[in-house]
Each structure stands twice: as C-alpha cells, then as structure tokens.
Amino acid sequence: MPESVVIIGAGQAGAQAVQSLRAEGFDGPITMVGDEAYPPYQRPPLSKAYLLGTFERPRLFLKADSYYAETGCELLLGTSAKAIHRAERTVELSDGRKLAYDKLLLTTGARVRKLKCPGADLPGIHYLKTIADVDGLQEAFQPGKRIAIVGGGYIGLEVAAVGAKRGLDVTVFEAMDRLMARAVSPQLSSFYAAEHEKAGVKLKLRTGVEAFEGNGKVERIIAGGQRYDTDIVLVGIGVVPCDELATHAGLASEDGIVVDQNARTGDPHIWAAGDCTRHVGREGHSLRLECVQNAIDQAKHAALAMVGKHKTYSEVPWFWSDQYDLKLQIAGLARPSDRLVLRGDPASRKFAVFHLRDGAVAAVEAVNAAPEYLMGKKWVGEGKKIAPQMLADTSVPMKQMA
Ligand SMILES: Cc1cc2nc3c(=O)[nH]c(=O)nc-3n(C[C@H](O)[C@H](O)[C@H](O)COP(=O)(O)OP(=O)(O)OC[C@H]3O[C@@H](n4cnc5c(N)ncnc54)[C@H](O)[C@@H]3O)c2cc1C
C-alpha cells in the first residue's frame, strides 16, 4: 500500500502541498480537510480588487474545480478536524469520521484577532479573512456610508483605500503613532499617511478604541476618549495562529506551531506550513510569517521532505500591498537599527527604501518600483554590499549596479 497523506486546512499552503506532492512523484492517496465551504482560494484580493468589485469570484480559486479529482486529492470541505491521535495516527473529524494517515500536514492558517471591549459583539462590526466575510461586509459597504476602520495595518489600509475609492466616508483608528508600524519604515508610514489623507481618509493615530455603542447595531465608536458616529466598523488588528489541534496533540507551539527547516514538527509523521507555523528564519531568529510567500515555500519544503527530499528552508520573505494605484513590495526583514537609503523621490510616487545592515542589503521597500524590488530581493538573498551613495543615485540604473 502506498503511504497516505492527510492535509488539514484547505488554503494557500494546503493547495500548494497537493501540487508539490504530485510534482515530486508522490502517488499515494491525499485527503485535504477544510472547514470553509470553498476549495482553496487566494485571500490577498479580498481586501483589494475583490472588495472593490473589479475581481470576479471564480478568479479567487487557486485551482480549477476539476483539479482535485484529477490529481487524486479527496477534498472534504465544510469539515473541521477536531483532534489528532498521534499514537494511532488518525485525525478525528467534525462529522465523527476518523481519517488514518501515514503523513500529516497542518496548514490551518491563522484566525483574526478579535477586539475585546464593551460593544465589540454588536452587529455591524466586521472582520476580514474569508470570502464569507467580504460577502457580509458588501451590503453595508456603499457610497456615502461612514466606515470606522480599527487598525492602520495592511488590511485596514487596503480596505480604507477601497472605501475611499468607492465613496465611503472613511476614518482609520490606529493605536500606534504611525501607520503599518510593525511592518514598514517611518518613511513609508509618512508617505502612506499623506496618500490616504489626500484621498479623503481621516487618520486618528495614537487613538486606541475603547468601546462601541449602538441600539441593536453599531452606531458609535469611542476612541481616544471621543465618540464618533459610524455606520460600519471594520477591525483589522492582526491574526493569531490556529495551533490548537497541534497543542492538544502535544506538539510544541510558541505562538505558532514550531517546525524545523524542513517544516517538520517534533513528531516525525507531522509537518506544518504557512501562517500557523513558527520557524527559525535565514538570519537565525524565530519567526512567524503571515504571507503568501511563506505559505507556498514552506508547503513546498514540507512536500519535499515527505517524499524524502530534504531541502533547507531559507527563502527571502517577501510581501506586497495594493493601496490606490500604489504597489508596495517588500523583501527581507527590516530592523529598526538598519541604515536607511532612499532611492527616488516619494513625491514622484515611485521610490524605494533600502535597509542596509553591516553594509549589506537586508531589506527593500519599493513603491511602484519593480526593478528596485526585484534587484533588492536578489541582493537580500546574496547579502550584497552596495555603497549607499550609489544606491541613492537614480542616474545609475539598477541593472548597472548589479
Ligand atoms: C484580506 C487578506 C489580505 C491579504 N493580503 C496579502 C497580501 O497582499 N500579500 C500576502 O503575501 N499575504 C496576504 N495575506 C495573507 C495570506 O493570505 C496568508 O498568509 C495565506 O493565506 C496563508 O496561507 P495558509 O495556507 O497558511 O492559511 P489559509 O490560506 O488561511 O488557510 C488555512 C485554512 O485552514 C482552515 N482551517 C483551520 N483550522 C482547521 C481545522 N481544524 N479543520 C479544517 N480546516 C481548518 C481555515 O479555515 C482556512 O481555510 C492576506 C490575508 C488576508 C486575510
């Protein structure tokens, strides 16, 4: 009998694992269990073009409907895994069934962090993670409506940009003193703050949310000691890894299921990939990444390891965000102590910020600047040293510097 693989979580990493297992020649049975109603889909458009209405639902799906049957992957949708019994190598499902596995892959992703304050359960307070969430938001997300967005991170700002474009009256409440503070340099935060304000978005920085009020639905948000009337609220304050299945089965989790460089957990029969994991990154630090790149690359490494082809995971992390007509692309992981080098003029809406560490390119943030992003990403991988003056000199093309 060929060995069997069970994948828990039908998302970005799960779909990639199916594809990679087959590409690597695995010909045993694969079963993928997903608690959503849909086969694996991409989430990035949810807060961008899909919310805007310019991206059709069928395009969200990562594979054609026929793909799973054609590749011999049984999809169990609308079904959640309730427990892993490691000794007998089975997974217990919500419908009472038990699935036996030889190899198990956890791709359970992350769930939205919920606000815990008075009124946080009022109808009209939305989160954005799934197709169902966008569907739930769409009806109220109409021109002229007031939307209060809690959280000035990627999701909140992407929704703010779409809201402004669609003619909503948008206010963003952010507890920190700048936008996307966890993810980008102060230069980028200032640039994006100006762009949002130009589009009519009101920004309330250093303004933590204290409560919501309303009669049967949300009508007001109380933040920074003031009351603001609103029609809808969208909360985007981060995610927490779905690691309960793993921890209940006795696997280690430290705010993310702990995996090694081959995406394997402490159990030789169990791997994990994507948002639910924590691993030691290429710079030797423990990381939990929430991005498509990590979901894809870690799933590939898990699939390789499952078929006995071990390859150390040390990819350069990369990420993107679309706000208005601005494409932000980031590669590498910045640190506050990095030396920053600006290339290009932010006023031209096409520029990059390079992060140098010990003279080498450690990260790049590029706005509408694909060559800087692509070359920067390569340099991060190589640890390339470049003189800051040359990097800042736009008269020297990127290609020439390479
Ligand atoms: C609105 C939005 C915009 C984003 N934009 C970007 C972007 O621009 N760029 C970028 O790089 N990343 C972006 N991301 C992040 C990116 O989508 C995630 O990093 C990626 O989806 C992670 O893939 P995953 O497979 O780990 O998890 P997911 O794709 O979330 O899949 C996990 C699946 O497992 C299911 N599941 C969990 N527990 C169980 C269980 N017990 N039984 C069965 N099923 C279970 C979940 O319901 C989910 O369907 C965005 C995310 C969101 C929500």
| Mean pLDDT value of segment 210-220 | 98
Residue 1 has pLDDT above 70, yes or no: no
Question: Is the CB of 328 inside a 6 Å radius of any atom of ligand 1?
Answer: no
Q: What is the pLDDT of residues 159-174, one digit of tens each?
A: 999 999 999 999 999 9
Q: What is the pLDDT of residues 182-204, one digit of tens each?
A: 999 999 999 999 999 999 999 99
Q: Whose CA is nearest to atom 19 of ligand 1?
A: 291
Residue 2 has pLDDT above 80, yes or no: no
d(CA 369, CA 347): 13
Q: What is the pLDDT of residues 337-386, one digit of tens each?
A: 999 999 999 999 999 999 999 999 999 999 999 999 999 999 999 999 99
Question: Is the CB of 15 inside a 6 Å radius of any atom of ligand 1?
Answer: no
Question: Is the CB of 10 inside a 6 Å radius of any atom of ligand 1?
Answer: yes
Closest to 269 (Cα-Cα) out of 1, 18, 6, 30: 6
d(CA 317, CA 222): 37
CA of 9 to the centre of ligand 1 (A): 9
CA of 109 to the centre of ligand 1 (A): 5
The residues near 47 (Cβ < 8 Å, ≥ 6 apart) are 128, 154, 155, 158, 159, 162
Question: Is the CB of 9 inside a 6 Å radius of any atom of ligand 1?
Answer: yes
Q: Name the phi and psi angles at 51, rounded to 5.
A: -65, -35
Question: Is the CB of 151 inside a 6 Å radius of any atom of ligand 1?
Answer: no
CA of 97 to the centre of ligand 1 (A): 25
Q: Whose CA is nearest to atom 4 of ligand 1?
A: 44
Q: Do domains 5-111+239-306 and 125-235 have the same CATH topology?
A: yes
| Mean pLDDT value of segment 110-115 | 98
CA of 341 to the centre of ligand 1 (A): 33
Question: Is the CB of 257 inside a 6 Å radius of any atom of ligand 1?
Answer: no
Which is the closest atom of ligand 1 to the Cα of 128? 1
Q: Whose CA is nearest to atom 35 of ligand 1?
A: 9
d(CA 326, CA 349): 8
Mutate to test the pocket of ligand 1, among 6, 108, 133 (most ligand atoms within 8 A of CB): 108
Helices (H), 106-243: 131-138, 154-165, 186-198
Work out whether the CA dihedral 273, 279, 281, 287 comes out positive or negative: positive
Domain 325-401 has CATH 3.30.390.30: yes
Domain residue limits, the chain:
5-111+239-306, 125-235, 325-401
Class of domain 5-111+239-306: alpha beta
pTM over 0.95, yes/no? yes
Q: What does the mean pLDDT of the chain come to?
A: 97
Class of domain 125-235: alpha beta
